[in-house]
Structure 1
Amino acid sequence: MTSPLSPPGPADRRRRHTIYHGHRRASPYRHTVHGGLITHLRATSPGPRSSPSPWPAATTAPFHLPDWDPSSPSHSPRSSPTPSHSTSASSRRLSPLARFLLDALRRHRRWGPPVVADLSKLRRVPPTLVVEVLSAHPPPPPPFALPFFHWAGRQKGFRHCFPAFHALASLLSAAGLPAAADQLPDLIRSHGKPVSHPQLTLLVRLHTAARRPLRALYTLRRFRHEFSVQPQVHVCNRVLGALTAAGHVEDALKLFDEMAESGIRPMPVTFAIIVHALGQEGMAERILEMIGRMRDEVCRPDVFVYTALVKTMVRRGHMEGCIRVWEEMGRDGVEPDTVAYATMVEGLCNAGIVEKAAKLFEGMRKKGLLVDRIVYASLVHAYVAAGRVGDGCRILKEMVDAGYRADLKTYNILIAGLCGIGREDKAHNMFQIVLQEELMPSSETVSQLLVCYADKGEMVNFFGLVDKLVELSLPAVEFLGHFLRLFACKDGRELKTLELFKTLRQKGYFSVNIYNILIENLLKIKERKKALLLFEEMKASDDCEPESCTYSLMIPCFVDEGNIEEACSCYNSMMKAEWIPSLSAYRSLVKGLCKIGEINAAVSLVSDCLGNVENGPMEFKYTLTVIEACRSKDPEKVMKVVVEMIELGYLIDELIFSAVIYGFCKYATSTGAREVFSVMRDRDIISEANFIVYEDMLNEHLKKVTADLVISGLKFFNLESKLKWRSRID
């Protein structure tokens, strides 16, 4: 380090004072600038910035160009713990003037005279500098970029270049302003420049990259009709690909027809995109027609085009059209590869066309193509699904002989198939193979075996298998729950399932899930008494207390038994535990409350359901709509809601009538409710008998409302002690 009084070194003497090498001498027209070509441009404030954002929210002190020194020690990166974007690698590649302009923009909150004053300190801004500023990373935001672009254009003798227009459009598109970016051709025309194909290519590339295919299509058509710019085929291909990927197949086909009308000759890629789009929709006739056009106009489709088409159609499930495409591929002389064969075999197996899949499988083996494990597994699943379990076992043996190892799903399919034909001995042997292969059995592996043993009463084998699960440290109780659900789903096994459960409970195999499965199946066959006994048993148990699912099952049971009070008790227990009942429980309890005339409680329950459930029942939503219509005190508005429900196929039940009663008694008078009931009777929506029933319900509700008002008044004036109750119900 040299002292201030020491003579300058050789390097200092050789230093030239230019803009590229450091300090430049001042002149009447140029201010003094310190810095070099690769100098870091930093903030002018002496202290660290409070915010790392490149666009601060508050303005700073006025900037003086003569005092600007990007290499000043006060602007060292060490002064700020968080580096700003202006010190990034992309910013270091900018020229000093571009960094000066960006800093001048970043120092202000919005565009205004202070920004213009800072920018005007430069004698002239060339077009290349405008391009450099708009292309910076991060770029200036649109509220600064657009005024800066127009300010630069107002310089004397200045004309924007095409890269500046393109940079502005890219900036607007990246900022999420596609409509503003689409004004690029209008902006170019307003500056007296011609609109050409590069602008179309740029906008299409921006829109497709941002997944805006419809806007890209609009831009393409606008350039062709409004600006007479004929799009090239590669631009059309990009739009076609974006439309196809987004699922706009009809728009892609229309664009392809427009290409033919405009005289744009398609490429092989164009036909491949259209064929792929047609494959998504399963249009076999159009696909064959397009393949013929591709063969006549461009070239013969290769194996990659056919394979991609087969994959698309198999994925969409259009197997009939896929078979026709496969046959067309053979007529075209294209030899399918391994991927095409594997895709076709898998699709045929999933569609249940086993014979054709087996023929293709044999064709693969004769041609010496590689048959992977997926092909073998697909054939095994297809054979078992068709009831040909023996052929499935044969394919499994061939798979093992070929050096592949079957997965657990394949073994589960075979075990289920063997159990389905009554060969549980073979299924047990397959289970032993699963253990030998060191595969961890799942509930699907053992459930079918347990069902066979339980059906035939072979309880020794049954519990032997259960003990084996315990020995393997598997969740035996969880597996037994899956077994009981599978066993009880067949007709006539519900009571047998209950007897089997008693045996399992004696051995200690029970859980809340198993209780819920039994209760659910007993309620399906209307065995409510047995379900109630299980529920009481759960309540008395310390290990299997009722949970949310249990209460949701028992609420409809109590309502059907006419015990609304107990159903409400279950609901209150769920609310205390912060559980949400099921929709069936909500519907059943609301219906039960309406039948006994508890309209206020029913409406409150409807609101609670819609507040807790993501997608509540439509009848509940219409209930609140009816109540809201009652606010108008106009029966015709209520009838409009009722007619709408009838047109949409919804049932007009007790809940809607209760809503009419509740709404008019709360917001109007009971006369409005009677008018609605009369109109419904005249239109044959309700019968005369139901009209009388609902009118009595209205009268009872009025009595309850009146009684509640009287009691509230007595409590307010402390006269409750003088009230003589006729019953013990408070």
Structure 2
Amino acid sequence: MNKQMSSAKLSRLFNITTKNQTPSPLPISDKQTAARITTYLQKSTAGKLQSNPSLLFNLNPNVTLLVLSSPSLPTQSCVDFFKLLNTFESHLKPDLPAAIALSHRLYTDRRFGEMKSLLNSVSTDGAEIIGSVCVYEGKVEFLETLFDLMIRVYVDKGMFQEGLRVFDYMVEKGMRIDERSCIVFLVAAKKRLEIDLCLEVFKRMVDCGVRITVYSLTIVVEVLCRRGEVEKSRKLVREFYRKGIKPEAYTYNTIINAYVKVRDFSGVEEVLKEMRKGGVGYNKVTYTLLMEMSVKNGRMGDAEKLFDEMRERGVELDVYLYTSMISLCCRKGNVKRAFLLFDELVEKGLSPSSHTYGALIDGVCKVGEMGAAEILMNEMQSGGVDITKVVFNTLINGYCRKRMIDEALAVYDVMEKKGFEADVFTFNTIASCLNRLKRYDEAKEWIFRMMEGGVRLNTVSYTNLIDVYCKEGNVEEAKRLFVEMSSKGAEPNAITYNVMIDAYCKQGKVKEARKLRADMEAKGMAPDSYTYTSLIHGECIVDNVDEALRLFREMGSKGLDQSSVTYTVMISGLSKAGKSDEAFGFYDEMKRKGFTIDHKVYTALVGSLHSPET
């Protein structure tokens, strides 16, 4: 009999219908049921309720609410009871009013973290939340906390409109809104690039009198700058400055960063002036941005001065700043100072990053110190610093600069074994080196290998391949590639044009070369010294020495460098045409300019003395 009764009780509790089920006990009032459960929980744990299911026969949302609201029941017992009910079937789970009741208990015990977690687990639309709190109308502080937390919960879940609904309800009821909740809202909107929403929230904050601090102001300044409304952000800063909200360095840094990105250096100077006027000192970020601006503006010396000023003022230097400065020194060719800074970095207990090593390796590679590059590479490995693909590419490029192709290929093999896939830079660097070494078949092989590997050819790749074909005398294939590259998304640059112009000129096809020059200029590319020298050579080949002289003079009028090659070509052309006096005039000019005169010049000059015109 007892077994049957127990089965019946459990069946009723979980809505299971069984045969021979015994009649249920007579229903009792919700208050009585709640009182029994409360009394039981005062003496035992919530978990043991499962072994006494008769207490839960008449459980309903109202009973749950009464239990959770009982002042005689400790808050932790309420929490445990709530958790237990959450494990039951849906119709027994606590509803929203129950969650709010438990929230009130948690609020009373100042357990705000648990309160937020609870609200997060039951968050629904704002209207339902608002409709469930009428019984707490007199408890303003609780409601303010509840709604503040709900705003944060909604914002965390990206339910921005629900958050705004709660915000508006709080304003309507005259509740105090915590600025911290608004900052959470602003930050979330900014992260999701909801710029209009961010500005709307800030406007509502201002309109309803939420305390504005420099933190919320800076967030809005940042989103305005992100949208390109830098002047509007500055106006906002000035407006709140008059209201007593003094911007800090990071507020101004946001505006400076926006100006630096668009290279508006006068704007930066105006902001710096405002900082000085307001007594706001530069911090690490300010200096970093100013250094970046100096580099973009080509004022490397100013960047170095700023770095030194930071050290003098005791501004904390981090790995990023040291790396930036090391990179700058290497770009200027001042590798000695780069190493001194590297040593200083290590002495300060900072750990060089892969970017730091990469900058230094790039510096030594550019000055041809490949031994130093290898030492740095080994140091990276022994120090457990990851060697990136950029570092491998830097080494390959360094070896290729010195035409040490075997060493470059050895680094490539290591790179592959480390699991790095070669990119377009890797392939182009190796192919270009092989091209310079006149190993044309291998150069083409590397470019074809790139294509087979699914790496898209860029302008450099096409130019390399075109150059190889031109050097092999296959100008038709070079021309085909020249035409094809644009359709493949790789536009010819000045170097590509120069390669084709030179090839046509060497074949005496000056008309084609002239057309390419015109096309080049139409696309906004100015012919350089190489272009002119090739054209002069072409005109000389077809015995059009007067046009060659005109081009030579045009070079001078444009301030282009007339190299020893240009002079040699002119002397050869004039000598061939029997214009010995003019040829010797160019020879004298070469000597005055200090050019090294090779056997080609002497051979041409000697030949001019035996020409018919002389």
1:219 to 166, 187, 201: 166
- What is the distance in 2 between the residues matched to 1:62 and 1:139? 26
- What is the distance in 1 between the residues matched to 2:319 and 2:136? 65
Say whether 1:290 aligns with 2:236. Answer: yes
Say whether 1:400 aligns with 2:353. Answer: no
Q: Superposition pairs for residues 404-415 of structure 1, below 5 Å?
A: 409-413=355-359
TM-fit CA distance, 1:98: 7.9
- What is the distance in 2 between the residues matched to 1:289 and 1:96? 65
Say whether 1:500 aligns with 2:447. Answer: no
Say whether 1:185 aligns with 2:130. Answer: yes
Say whether 1:202 aligns with 2:151. Answer: no
Tell me the residue number matched to 1:163.
104
Q: Is the 8 A contact 2:241 2:247 kept in 1?
A: yes
Amino acid at match of 1:116: N
Amino acid at match of 1:448: N
What does the per-residue CA deviation read over 1:273-300, in whole Å, with 9 as the maximum and x for residues that have no partner? 4344445445432333333334332343
Q: Is the 8 A contact 1:178 1:207 kept in 2?
A: no
Say whether 1:144 aligns with 2:98. Answer: no
TM-fit CA distance, 1:448: 1.0
The alignment partner of 1:216 has SS state of helix
Q: For the structure 1 residues 411 and 479, does the alpha-carbon distance in structure 2 shift closer, same or farther, using more than 3 Å as the test? A: farther
Tell me the residue number matched to 2:196.
250
Deviates more, 1:510-519 or 1:480-489: 510-519
Q: TM-score by structure 2 length?
A: 0.50
Q: Superposition pairs for residues 551-630 of structure 1, below 5 Å?
A: none
The alignment partner of 2:85 has SS state of coil
Q: Superposition pairs for residues 254-265 of structure 1, below 5 Å?
A: 254-265=200-211
Higher helix share: 2
Q: For the structure 1 residues 63 and 192, does the alpha-carbon distance in structure 2 shift closer, same or farther, using more than 3 Å as the test? A: farther
Say whether 1:329 aligns with 2:271. Answer: no
Tell me the residue number matched to 1:653.
none
Q: Is the 8 A contact 2:424 2:457 kept in 1?
A: no
Amino acid at match of 2:332: V
What does the per-residue CA deviation read over 1:340-374, in whole Å, with 9 as the maximum and x for residues that have no partner? 43465467658976455333213213324343332
Say whether 1:463 aligns with 2:412. Answer: no
What does the per-residue CA deviation read over 1:698-720, in whole Å, with 9 as the maximum and x for residues that have no partner? xxxxxxxxxxxxxxxxxxxxxxx
Q: Is the 8 A contact 2:396 2:408 kept in 1?
A: no
Q: For the structure 1 residues 475 and 450, does the alpha-carbon distance in structure 2 shift closer, same or farther, using more than 3 Å as the test? A: farther
Amino acid at match of 1:248: E
TM-fit CA distance, 1:487: 2.9
The alignment partner of 1:247 has SS state of coil
Tell me the residue number matched to 1:451.
400
Q: For the structure 1 residues 469 and 252, does the alpha-carbon distance in structure 2 shift closer, same or farther, using more than 3 Å as the test? A: closer
1:434 to 368, 376, 390: 376
TM-fit CA distance, 1:485: 0.6
Q: For the structure 1 residues 396 and 126, does the alpha-carbon distance in structure 2 shift closer, same or farther, using more than 3 Å as the test? A: closer
- What is the distance in 1 between the residues matched to 2:68 and 2:313? 68
The alignment partner of 1:175 has SS state of helix
Q: For the structure 1 residues 365 and 494, does the alpha-carbon distance in structure 2 shift closer, same or farther, using more than 3 Å as the test? A: closer
Q: TM-score by structure 1 length?
A: 0.44
1:240 to 186, 205, 209: 186
TM-fit CA distance, 1:220: 0.6
Amino acid at match of 1:127: S
Tell me the residue number matched to 1:675.
none
Q: Superposition pairs for residues 637-648 of structure 1, below 5 Å?
A: none
Q: How many residue pairs were aligned?
A: 421
Q: For the structure 1 residues 145 and 355, does the alpha-carbon distance in structure 2 shift closer, same or farther, using more than 3 Å as the test? A: farther
Q: For the structure 1 residues 375 and 444, does the alpha-carbon distance in structure 2 shift closer, same or farther, using more than 3 Å as the test? A: same
TM-fit CA distance, 1:222: 3.3
Amino acid at match of 1:144: L
Q: For the structure 1 residues 417 and 135, does the alpha-carbon distance in structure 2 shift closer, same or farther, using more than 3 Å as the test? A: same
What does the per-residue CA deviation read over 1:387-432, in whole Å, with 9 as the maximum and x for residues that have no partner? x432465334343356457555445445556666xx4xx3324324
RMSD (Å) for aligned C-alpha atoms:
6.1
- What is the distance in 1 between the residues matched to 2:292 and 2:219? 24
Q: Is the 8 A contact 2:190 2:198 kept in 1?
A: yes
TM-fit CA distance, 1:221: 1.6
Once the two structures are aligned, what percentage of the paired residues are identical?
Answer: 15
TM-fit CA distance, 1:268: 4.2
Q: For the structure 1 residues 449 and 260, does the alpha-carbon distance in structure 2 shift closer, same or farther, using more than 3 Å as the test? A: closer
Q: Is the 8 A contact 1:233 1:264 kept in 2?
A: yes
1:487 to 422, 429, 437: 429
1:366 to 312, 315, 325: 312
Q: Is the 8 A contact 1:319 1:348 kept in 2?
A: no
TM-fit CA distance, 1:338: 3.8
- What is the distance in 2 between the residues matched to 1:446 and 1:207? 54
TM-fit CA distance, 1:333: 1.1
Q: Is the 8 A contact 1:63 1:118 kept in 2?
A: no
Q: For the structure 1 residues 193 and 412, does the alpha-carbon distance in structure 2 shift closer, same or farther, using more than 3 Å as the test? A: closer
Q: For the structure 1 residues 496 and 302, does the alpha-carbon distance in structure 2 shift closer, same or farther, using more than 3 Å as the test? A: same
Q: Is the 8 A contact 1:303 1:336 kept in 2?
A: yes
Gap regions ≥5 residues in structure 1:
1-43, 50-54, 66-90, 109-113, 154-159, 455-460, 505-509, 532-556, 561-583, 585-730
- What is the distance in 2 between the residues matched to 1:138 and 1:361? 58
Q: Is the 8 A contact 1:345 1:361 kept in 2?
A: yes
Amino acid at match of 1:217: L
What does the per-residue CA deviation read over 1:618-644, in whole Å, with 9 as the maximum and x for residues that have no partner? xxxxxxxxxxxxxxxxxxxxxxxxxxx
